[in-house]
Amino acid sequence: MVKKTQLLLIASLVWLFAGFNVAKIGIDAYQSYVEIVNISVSTFVFLIFWFMVFGPLVKKHTQRISELNEEKQFFLNFFDAKSFSIMAIMILGGLGIRKFQLLPEQFIAIFYSGLGSALFLAGIVFGYNYFNTNRK
């Protein structure tokens, strides 16, 4: 059991770890594809995922955590069941795509770099929310 505000720190660490690893896969694959158009597409992927998925997700879970009634929470309560399901599908999908080489390396480079950066930013914002909440 942890204090409910510590759930934000746990979420931060999970998303930083996931974002770093996904971005690293993309960046490692990027070596042969560094072109302005590819970087632009990666930036577009980042913006789409940040503003349509992970930004709202951070806001939703930060609010949900702040509204929890009990001060002590099970450490996995940083997410709800739906979010854990989405995370599992994303992880399994990503592993399957790479293991079975379902998409070209250029796609992996462009998409994973943008996606991983958005995931990493989610970790940063969860961390910011944790430190901001504990200052009050």
pLDDT score recorded for residue 68 = 94
Across residues 47-72, what is the average pLDDT? 96
pLDDT score recorded for residue 105 = 95
For residue 96, what are the contacts with CB-CB under 8 A and spacing of at least 6? 102
pLDDT score recorded for residue 136 = 61
pLDDT score recorded for residue 88 = 92
CA 128 – CA 134 distance, rounded (Å): 10
pLDDT score recorded for residue 14 = 95
